[in-house]
Structure 1
Amino acid sequence: MINIVYDIKVYRQTLKDIIKEDDVVVELGCHVGNSTRIISQLASHGKIIALDKGTESREKLDELKKEVKTPIEFINADVRLHETLEEVGQKVDEWGGCDVLSVDLGGGYHPDTTFKVFYIWSSTLKPRDTIIRNRGLLDFIHSSSGTEIIRSENGWLESCGDDGIPPRLKELKLWSPKL
């Protein structure tokens, strides 16, 4: 199932609704680890890969790893980079797959980037459940209309196919002048 929310309270409640104690969770946009702490309590016998490119993340996640029992692997990297996806994909394969993909990139900003990241990561990792926190995507969904019903029952879009990690995308360089 794919869940799209904006309010942080709804986001954290949805995490509580979908995460099981032995889940492997990939968290994109862990920031300083406030939601990671909740995930570690929920996936008490699972594993977490938490990613963020922010400079303040490493210190906070290192502190959190000392406080909780759930193994947390923190990766200080840009989730838009192919190398980051390859690294996480290898780890997740070693752990038996990804159960939950959590995407919290910018809250309400950059829904296009958030959707692209979701699409590429979810089509590669094939999670059971995905949660995306982004106001722009939620606004788009509630503002749209249509008569066709196309639905995926997984945490990824079935229209993604089964391609695995996509080849290096030139489009990624368009997301940021820093790439």
Structure 2
Amino acid sequence: MIKIVYDIKIYRENIKRIIEKDDVVVELGCHVGNSTRMIAEKAFQGKLIAIDNSPEALPCMNKLMVDYPYLEFINADVRLHETLEYVFKKIKRCDVLLIDLGGGYHPDTTFKVYFIWSSALKPKKTIIRNRGLVDFVLSSQTEEIISSTEGWLESSGDAGIPPSIKEFKLWSNKL
């Protein structure tokens, strides 16, 4: 199951609905942890890895880790191969992948991050929060039927896992 939403309330309602107590959850773009706390309360017998590279995230997430010992915060850029490799080696499985990278901005970056991370982690369920992707999906039409039932695009096989994600290092939000 892959859900794409924009409204933060709908995003969080979906989180509440799909996360189970023993899930392994990877959250990309946790920021200061408002959704993270909700996730941690749902997956209390599982594992939660939350990742964000914003300076505001560090003190807030450090406080959350005290309250939730099964939460690990990683202050890193999700576009870097090293970040994905670190998480991949750390977890045995990923039940839920959550992606909120700025909400409405950069649908191209958000989709690429989703495609690479989900191809590597193969989650059962994914929720992506991005206005541009919602707009794209609702505006698109096709006669082809290509379907994935998991939280990753199994119709693409392992095609999304390059040996290194070097092109992410070349991207700039200044362009």
TM-score, normalised with respect to structure 1: 0.92
Give how far 1:56 is off.
Answer: 1.0
- For 1:107 and 1:25, the matched residues in 2 are separated by 19
| Alignment-derived partner of residue 63 in structure 2 | 63
CA RMSD between the two structures: 1.6
Give percent identity, aligned residues only. Answer: 65
Q: Which amino acid aligns with 1:134?
A: N
Aligned match of 1:52? 52
Unaligned runs of 5+ in 2: none
Aligned residues: 174
| Whole-Å separation in 2 of the counterparts to 1:72 and 1:37 | 9
Deviations, residues 85-117 of structure 1 (Å, cap 9, x unaligned):
000000112xxx010000000100000000000
In the TM superposition, residue 170 of structure 1 has moved relative to its aligned partner by: 3.6
The letter for the 1-side match of 2:105 is: Y
* 1:11 alignment counterpart: 11
TM-superposed CA distance for 1:169, in Å, is 3.2
Q: Distance in 2 between matches of 1:169 and 1:25?
A: 22
Spell out, residue by residue over 1:101-160, the C-alpha distance to the aligned partner (whole angstroms, 9 max, x if none): 000001000000000000000000000000000000000000111122211000000133
Asked if structure 2 preserves the Cα contact closer than 8 Å seen for 1:101 and 1:131, the reply is yes
Distance in 2 between residues matched to 1:16 and 1:167, nearest whole Å: 35
Superposed counterparts of 1:23-172, under 5 Å: 23-68=23-68, 71-93=70-92, 97-162=93-158, 165-172=161-168
Does the 8 Å contact 1:124/1:166 carry over to 2? Answer: no
Runs ≥4 residues deviating over 3 A:
162-165
